[in-house]
Amino acid sequence: MDLLQRCKGRRVVLAPMAGITDGSFCGKYRDLFGIVTLGALNLDSATLSASKEIVKRGRREFLYSLNKFEYFVKREIVKARESNALVSVNIRFKDFHEGRRRIEFLGEHCDIIELNCHCRQEEIVNLGIGQELLKGENIETLKDFLKGIQELEIGKPILLKVRANVVPVDELIDNLNKVKRYFHGIHLDCFNPGKDYPDMEYLEKIRRCFRDKIVIGNNSINSLSDGERMLKYGDLISVARCLLKGNVKWIAQFNRKTSRELSCSPLENPR
């Protein structure tokens, strides 16, 4: 069934926040989100070491023993399913071969895999991953990762979590066009350097150039009207920091409004 239909008419996604969006955090929002996202989870020793360094600087990350990955993930996914939403997992790795078994495991237990091309923490960027994967010089690495995941035939949609303005939008479009057969959707943080509002033009161009992909618009959505504005250019919208402020009420209103609109004009979507 189409991913959007499986969201049961709910158009809001809970975006990942490292060290915060675990199973309990996701699970406490029952019947609110179409998709909840766990992670970012590290799938290899290089990213786990990077996370440990990040924690030393006072930021939150998910730390666990890689030997106990399966146990940890299964437990968190069970809790996240209390949300009655699809469960996506935001993942990071440097060495695909080390992470491969864990991706297969995730494929058996979650609904969506989201490759993190977003993180800008120095320890992750120094590994040439996170937002570095969006740059032209790293596109072969991104391709190898995505091709490797596709060859696992896990049968789950692959999303890319992407930060806007790491590279200019036309450059990102060119880069993503080179790998477009390997992913199903783009989860775009419309990060707008030096501004406190999202870069909607960036999102609009991504939407226009990737009509056959799921597009999730994200950044600074705090109200029904923010959500409506973002939904003009996306199939779904996502939220992170507003939940930390307890700003949640508008999401139920948004669901009621958008599901009414959906039932008036049935979504015909091949995805």
* Distance of closest approach, residue 83 Cβ to ligand FMN, in angstroms: 16
Provide CB contacts within 8 A for 232, sequence distance 6+. Answer: none
The CA-atom distances, in angstroms, between 194 and each of 120, 163, 165, 226, 252 are 15, 14, 11, 19, 31
The yes or no reply on residue 106 touching ligand FMN (CB under 6 A) is no
* Distance of closest approach, residue 266 Cβ to ligand FMN, in angstroms: 29
* Member of 35, 36, 40, 176 binding ligand FMN (CB under 6 A): 40
Stretch that binds ligand FMN, among 97-105, 145-153, 204-212, 213-221 (CB under 6 A): 213-221
Q: Which residue, 158, 151, 188, 184, is CA-closest to 172?
A: 188
* Member of 18, 32, 115, 215 binding ligand FMN (CB under 6 A): 18
Q: 184 burial class (0-12, 13-18, 19+ CB within 10 angstroms)? A: middle
The yes or no reply on residue 166 touching ligand FMN (CB under 6 A) is no
* Member of 88, 220, 255, 258 binding ligand FMN (CB under 6 A): 220
Nearer to ligand FMN, 102 or 161 (CB): 161
* Member of 10, 11, 161, 213 binding ligand FMN (CB under 6 A): 161
* Distance of closest approach, residue 58 Cβ to ligand FMN, in angstroms: 12
The yes or no reply on residue 90 touching ligand FMN (CB under 6 A) is yes
The yes or no reply on residue 221 touching ligand FMN (CB under 6 A) is yes
The yes or no reply on residue 116 touching ligand FMN (CB under 6 A) is yes
* Member of 4, 16, 26, 123 binding ligand FMN (CB under 6 A): 16
* Member of 3, 12, 13, 15 binding ligand FMN (CB under 6 A): 15
Binding site residues, ligand FMN, CB under 6 A: 15-18, 20, 39-40, 90, 116, 118-119, 161, 189, 218-221, 239-242
